[in-house]
Each structure stands twice: as structure tokens, then as C-alpha cells.
Amino acid sequence: MRYLGQEYTGKGVTIAIIDSGINVNDPRLAGAEIEGWSIQLGATGHALLASDFTDENGHGTEIAAAVRARAPDAKLLAIKIMGKKLRTTAELMAAGIETATRNSATVINLSLGTAKMGKALLLRDCCANAEESGSVVFAAAHPRGEVAYPADLPETVGVQAHPDCPADRYFYFNPKRFRRKEWGTLSGKFLTHGFAMGAGGKWRGSGMATAYLAGEAACLAEALDGHPLSTLIDTLKDRGLVPVPPEYA
């Protein structure tokens, strides 16, 4: 990423990928620094960490490859909360965010979410703790524009996708201009490319868009090293294009 006349690659920045794990042998990740864990909930509700974060589905690996395409020198922290069937819970998402925060991830990528309002407070608490610790959570918005958590929480960066959005652009729906009454859940969110990497890549929606923006943010974090987290988020917003024409909505 080019910023103020220099190129940045996310060097020195840790990106946590809370997903189905990562296949470290994937050629798209050759040379990447990767470590991580898998998380399960015990009978008492406590998070149990294990060292094996092997990806049984491929989703987490694809997200990791998209992140690395934007931030090739960032360190990747795999936090596996899903298995082959890509099923998880809000409690595991919260445990993943907490684990990422405790392990000094500057950028936390969560290419999933829940529509259950009853889980909003749980996720808001852990996202707020992450924010206070200097981590920012990038979360995928609902594919049909409905409310989803944690993407629709004020402590996170919500990301949506549109098939007409160019691969090298992203937009920001400033809520002062794009008010929620008229624009719904797009208000306050980012929008970018949602196709998988490479020519003819499949449409992956907001989950893939989140990965691309998280990689962009990691490069900005390198460029703004020493600045507060709020500066990173404000700069990301300032660099976002205004979504005109309105077809991008």
C-alpha cells in the first residue's frame, strides 16, 4: 500500500484471523510468519486452547491469503473457532477476540458474525476491551443488509461488499452524509471488493471484503506506528472514497 509517498506492507503488525484455521502449506502463504491456536468451550463455559489450528474447510486459509495479498509482511495469528462445517457460536467469537487481544494483534479479522441480538452485549464487551488495548476488530456485515454483530457495534469496523466495487478501491459511508434512516446498515460502514483472489475468483461477499480491508489497515498501522488507534481508523475513513454514483449502495 502506498501512503504519503512510501510503500507499506504491514511489517511489524500482527493480524489475527478468527476463522476455521489456516493451512500453513498453502502456496499463497509461502514465507508468511504464522502461529496460532484452536479454541473450544469446556463444560463450564471456559475457553480451552490447543496448539493445532489446521484448517479443515479452507475458508480461513482463503481469508488469510486475501489478507496477505494486501499486507504481505504482516504476521498472521490463526485463531480457529470453526471446523469443517463452519459452525461456531458468539461465545467462541468473543473468546477469539479476547485471545487475539491478549496476543497483541493490532488488527483482528472476523469474516463472520451473528444476527442474534441477545449476543450483542457479549460481543460489545470484548470488542470494547480490544479497542482499549489497542486492537481494532474488522467484522463482516450481513450479506442481505440486516443487522449483524459485531459488525454493527460502534466499537468495530463493519465491512460490506458489492460486486461492482473495483478490486483496488474501497468506500466509506460517512454517517453524517449517509444517514441510517435512508441508508440502513450501510451507514457508518466500509464497502469494498468481495471476490476471491485472482481472475475469475468466486464471489465471497462481505467476509472477503473484510479481509481485504483488514490487510489495508495493517499497512496503515505500519505507516502510523506510534500513533493512537483512533488515528488509524480516522485515516482509513479519510482514504475511503465517497460512494458515488449511488449504485454502489
Confidence band of 246 (pLDDT split at 50, 70, 90): low
pLDDT digits (tens, 9 = 90+) for 219-238: 999 999 999 999 999 999 99
User: Domain spanning 2-241: which superfamily?
Assistant: Peptidase S8/S53 domain (3.40.50.200)
Residue ranges per domain, the chain?
2-241
43 vs 80, higher pLDDT: 80
What number of CA atoms fall less than 13 Å from residue 10's CA on the CB side? 25
Confidence band of 249 (pLDDT split at 50, 70, 90): very low
Instruction: Name, in order, each residue with C-beta under 8 angstroms of 22's C-beta and a sequence gap of 6 or more.
Output: 29, 34, 36, 53, 55, 60, 61, 64, 76, 78, 80
Given a cut of 60, is residue 245 above it in pLDDT? no
How high is the mean pLDDT of the chain? 95
What residue type is 72 in one-letter code? P
Q: What does pTM read for this prediction?
A: 0.95
Given a cut of 60, is residue 18 above it in pLDDT? yes
Of the candidates 135, 149, 158, 153, the residue with the CA atom closest to the CA atom of residue 206:
158
Given a cut of 80, is residue 61 above it in pLDDT? yes
What residue type is 164 in one-letter code? D
37 three-class SS: strand
**Mean pLDDT of the region 109-122:** 96
Percent of the chain with pLDDT over 70: 98
